[in-house]
Structure 1
C-alpha cells in the first residue's frame, strides 16, 4: 500500500445463524409485550412480558401458538378456519388501537396494541401491547415524539436561516464565520469546519469560534483523508473515531486512528494529523459542476449517534451553499491576489528607496523576503552557496546551521523565468524529506534571484509539515519579488545600457513592419502636424526566433520631431527587450524604469506590446494605458476587446503592469490604433468615438484584407473633413498559419 494512503476494512455483520437469537434478546429488553407471528398466524417469538400479560393455554410458552388465541377476533371465529390478518381485532399498519379482552383471571382487560408488517423472509408481523391504563410508556413516547418534532423544527428553522442570511452573498467573512456558527447551532454540534478545494488538495478556510486555538488540520491532500470517502460516496458521511487501544497508548504517540463509517460499517485508517478534533462527525461534500469544491465537517467532541435525517439535511444545505461558496471563493481569491499585489508593491518601493539611498541593498533584500514569508504565514531561511564545496548551507529555525541537499540547476529546471526561479518544495522531494526528518518546516518554495553583486541570492520560504502548500498566487508573489530584487540590483547597469540604446538608436524613427512567416500585417500613420512625416505615434512588428513575433504600438505625449525622437528610443528599447525573451509586462516595466531614469526625457507614453506565439496560437500582451486592441474573430466576425489594462509608462515608479492572454485562430485579425482615432472630431465637434471605431472595424474587416487601413483612414478623413486633432496610427495583423 502506498505511503500515507487511505486504508479500509469491512466489519463483520451479524450472521444469519445468530439473527434469531439476537432478535430474541432484544425482545427481552423491551418493557412492552412483543409478539412476532407469520402469515399463517403462528407465533414465532414472544418476550416474557407477552407471556405474563396475554392469556394462553400453552404451558411451554407462546412460540408456535395461534396468535388468535392471544388476541381473540371480534365475534365467533372458527379456530380451524384459515388465518387472515383482517380478522384480528387491530389493524396491521402501525396504527395504535385499544382492544378489550379477557385477562388470565377472566376479567375484562383493555390493551393498547400496535402491529405492523416487518421486512423479513416471508410474511412477518410484530405486535406490541401494553395495558391501556398504563400511561407511563405512552407519555414517554409522547415526550419522545415532541422532542423529535422540536428537533426537526429547529433543523428546518436553522437551514432556513442559513439560506436567508447568505442569499446572494459574496462576503467571504459572512460565509466562513456566521454560516459555520449557524450550522453548529442548527445541528446542536460542538463545532463546524470548512475546507475548500485547490489544485493540490483541500485547504482550511473556516472554523467556528469554539475551535479557536484547537488543533485543526490546515490541509488535506487528495486521496489521503475523509475527503476521498465523501467524494466517493457522493453524500454526507456519518463517521465515528474509535478511541485508541491500551496497547497503542502504551506505545506512545498515536499516528493513525481508526474511523468507522456508520453507514457501511467500514473501518478507515487515517493519519491522526488529518482528522478534526471530533469523536463523531459528519463529512459533507459540496458539489458544483460535477466536482467537489468543499468539505464541511460538523462534529462533536464526544461519541454520539448520528441520524440519517441530519445527514440528508446537511446534504441539502451543502447543495444550496455550493453556488454561494463558489462566488465567495472567487471573491476570496481576488481579495487575496489584491492583497499580495499591494504587499508586493510596498516591498518594491522599499527596495527602490534603499537603492536610491545609502542603505545596504543586500540587507534590505533579505528583509523584503522575510516580510514576504511573514505575509504567507511562513518562515524565511537564507541559503548561502559554498562554491568550494558545491553545497548550500542554511541557518534552520530548529536545528541551526546545516547543509541542505539542493542542486540549484536541477531544481530550477522548467521553473525559470527571466533568470528568476521559484520551485515548490512538496512532499516526496529530497529537501522535504530531509527537513521533515530534522523536525524543521518543510513545505513551501525555493526562491532564486540568480547571481547578483557577485553572490547567489536564494532562500527557502517554508511552512510546517502538514500545512497547506503555497498556491499559484503565492508562488507568483514570491517570483515577482525575486524579479524586483534582481531588477533593482541590476538597475544602474540596466539604466546605463538603456541610455546607450536611446542615444545610439534615435535615428530609428520610421515605422516599418518586418515580414513574419504566418502573418500578414499592414500599418498606417497620419500626423496631425502639417507637413510632418514623424511624430509621437509609433508601431513595429519584430520577427523573433521560434515562430514568434513582437507587435508594438505606442503613443508618446507631444507631437512632431521631439515626440518622434522619444518614440524611436522607446521602440528600439522594446525591440531589444523582445530579443531578450522578456514577457510583455516585464518589457514595459523595464521601459518605465528606463524612461524615469533617463533624466533628459520628461514625457510619458501609452503602449500595446504583444508577443505572438504562432506555434501555441496565443497572443500575450500588455496594454499600458493604451486604448484596448480589437481581435476580430474569423468566421463569426465577433469583435473581442483585449481589455486587461495597466498604467501608462514613464510617469511613476510604482506603476503596476499586467499581462493578458488571448487564444488565436487562423484568419483572426488584430486591430491596433492610437487614441487619435477615437478622439477624432467632425466639423460639428462630435467625436468619432468607440461606436464609430467598432462600426468601422466591423464593416472594413468584412472586405479584403488588402487596403483595409487605407479604407479606415478614408473613413476618418470623411468624418473629420481631413482635419485631425491628433496623430492617428493603425496596425492590422492577420494570423494565417498557426499551430
Structure 2
C-alpha cells in the first residue's frame, strides 16, 4: 500500500518537499501497520512513524538523522559501509536485522524499499517476522552487500560471517554479548570523547569477531606505531610496545591497506619470518622476535587514505586463518575508523588544553619569581612541562673536579655523559641562544641512550645562557616509544618562551640596578633649610618593581630662600630614571639662577623638546619659599594639586593654579601661583600614584580620599604625615599599589629676629 502511494522525494537538506500536503504524509504513516521511514539521499532518517519507533525501541525524535546502516543490518550482523545499502531499491523483499540499540538486541525483519525520485532519497517499509518463518529475500542476495575495497563475500562466506556472529554471542566473555551491543558502547565512548574507551572497545570487537586469543591496537605516531590497547591472553608474555615504520609489518600495512593473515615462524637461518597467507610470500621480521602471537591478522585502520592505526588479532598457537575472517575484520575496521579518529582528535584537543595550561602555569610562576628565580626553579618548570607531554627530564651537569659531564636519570641515578655538546650540534633547530636536536638527527646519542636503557627517543636541548651559564638537558620518551611530533613542538615552544622570559627578567634586573644607581647618586635629597622642616617618602608598587620616574628635592638657596621640587617622569626603568635625574639636575641649576618657578618650568620644557630622543613627558611642582617673607611662589605643571595645611585652624587649602605638562608642546604657557605662609603651615606634595591607587572593588582613592586622610591626621607632626598617609594607602589597596608613590611634607617654621638679621644677601 505505502510503496504505491504518491510520496515525493526529499530535498538536499533532508526535508520533505511535499505530497498532497505535509499533513497527508503523517496521516498515512499513522494508518499503516508496518514500520515506515523516509530517508534522504545520504541514507539518514527524515521521517518515521510510531511503528518503527516501537520496532527499534527508540523514540521518533531519536530516529531522526540515524543512518540506515546503523539501524538495519545484513543477517551477518556486520554493518555495511556507510555508502552501501543493505537492500535493493526496486521494491523487492529483503530479510535483514533491525537493531534495538537500547537493549543490545536485534529483530529479524522483512523490508522493501523504493527510490522516491532521482535525488537518491527513498522510502522503506519493514515488518518483523519470526526466525523460523521468515521468508528469504526474493531472488539471490547480492554478494556486494558486504564488500570491502571491491572484494565481495561469496554466499558461503556470508554464511560463515553469520556463523561468526553466533560464535561471538556464545563466547561468554565479560562485556557485551555481541558485536552490535559492543558497537553501541563504542558510539557512547565516541560521544564522551573517551579515546582509550574507544580503542579498548574496538580491539575487543575485532578479537571477538574471529574468536582470537588476543588483540592489540597500535596507534600511528612519529616514526611508527605505539601500543595503546590490549585485550586477551598471550601466555604471560607481553606484546611489543612499539612497531617502527621501518618494520616489515608496519610497511606492509601502509602499502596494502587491508587485512593480511600471517604465520610467524623461524626460517632456515633461525631468524623470525612472516609467511603471508594469501600470497605465500615470506618476509624477514627479526624485529618481531618478542611477538607472542603465532598466527595473526594485521588489520590497518584507514582514515582519509591514511593508516592511522594497526590492530594485531591472533592466537598463541598455530591457527587456521580464513579469508572471510579477514574480510569481516576489514569491514569492522572500515566502519569504525571514523569513530576512532573522532575520539582520538577529541582526546588530543583535551590534551592540548591540558599541556597549554601547564605551560601557562609554569611561565606565570617563573614571571612571579622575577630575578629571584634560580636554576632549580627553571629546571622544575622544564621537568613539569616534560611530564605534561609524557616525557622525562634529565639535566646535564658538569663535574668541576674532573671536567666531565653527567646526567641525572628520572630514577635519580647519575650517569656519565660521554659527549662534547659542541660536537653534537648540527643546527637542526635554533632560536637565538637556544638549540634543540631530536635524537633522530643525533644517531650517536640515540644509540647511547638506547644502549644504556635510558630511553628510545627524545631531544637534546642546549641553552647558551640560562641563569648566567650555558645549560643542557635531555627530554626523553619512555616506554620504548618514539617522541610524538606534537610533544616535540610543545616543548620547543615552551623552551622558547622560557628563554624570552629569562632574558626579559635579566634585562629588567640590569635596568633596575642602573636606575637605583642613578637615583641614589643623583637625587632625592632634602637639604637642611633654616625655618623649614621637611620629610619625604618614596614607595615602589612592589618589592621587585622597576625604579620609576618619581623624584623630589629640597634645595637651600641664598637669601633665606628654598626651592621645593616634586615630579613624575612618564614610564619606568632606565630611561625614566635617567630623565628624572636630568630633570632634577636642570631644575637645581635653574633655581640657583634666581628664576621664577614658571620660568624654570618653561626652560625645562625647552630642554625636553630640544632632544628628539626624549620621547616622554613629565609633571612637576616647583615652588620657591621665601622663609624671611613667609611666601610661596609655585608653578604646578600638569601635576596633582598640592595641599596647604593650616593645623591651627584645622583647615586645608588646595593650591589651584595649574599649568600644562612638561615636554608636550613648545607653546605651552606656564603660570605662577602665590600663597602667604604662617608659622605652622604645612605644604603636602604627592605624585598621582597616591590618588590613582585602587581598592579591591576597583574604586580610586582619589583626591577626596587623600584630603580626608590628611584632615584625620592634621595634628600629627610633619615627620609622621607621609608615613601615615602611605599606611592608609596600603590599607585601602590591601597592600597592592599599582604605581610608585612619592610624597613630601614641608612645614613653615619661620625665622627668629637673629636669623633674619644674619641672613646672607
Q: Give the TM-score normalised by structure 1.
A: 0.43
